[in-house]
Amino acid sequence: MKVAIPLFKDRVSPRFDVCPEIWVVELKDGEMVNQEKWKMESLNLYQRLDQLSSKGVDKLICGGIDSLCLYHLGNSGIDVIHNVAGEASEVLNLFIRGVLRPGFYCNGKRGKGFCTWRRGFHGRRNVDAERKMREGHNL
């Protein structure tokens, strides 16, 4: 599975359409087998969308994204987890553990901060995963 995360420095970019680069990670059985960073500064919105679909990305984890992009990516078979904020490596780790979902916010570095779901986003909370995270379980 190929997962793409738009970056602004070492964090998830707040906007997909203006991110300077995208971190693409290939996962196999929950382990990272390959990673690369794509420069996106010179690409327009449609070129960005086409690059994701032509390079075989399966999932996009991003901050803000407009409905046009969601529609285009959905038609290309790319699943999007949006409205996510935090350090990109932490967000990827949460995705691998199966607890990341839309509206997720991670504050802090290397486990010294907190992670929570923002209020007001659609979808049900994963209460079990929240409890395990509070108790420090490895998911």
Per-residue pLDDT tens over the stretch 23-68: 999 999 989 999 999 999 999 999 999 999 999 999 999 999 999 9
pLDDT at 100 over 80: yes
Distance CA 2, CA 88 (A): 15
Is pLDDT of 4 > 80? yes
CB-count burial class (<10 Å; 0-12, 13-18, 19+) for 92: buried
Phi, psi of 89 (to 5 degrees): -65, -35
pLDDT, residue 124, reads 43
Mean pLDDT of 89-107: 84
Q: Is the pTM of this model over 0.85?
A: no
| Confidence bin at 21 (pLDDT 50/70/90) | very high
Per-residue buried b or exposed e for 30-65, using 16+ beta carbons within 10 Å of the residue's own CB: eeeeeeeebebeeeeeeebbebbeeeebebbbbbbb
* CATH superfamily, with its number, for domain 2-135: Dinitrogenase iron-molybdenum cofactor biosynthesis domain (3.30.420.130)
Q: Where are the domains of the chain?
A: 2-135
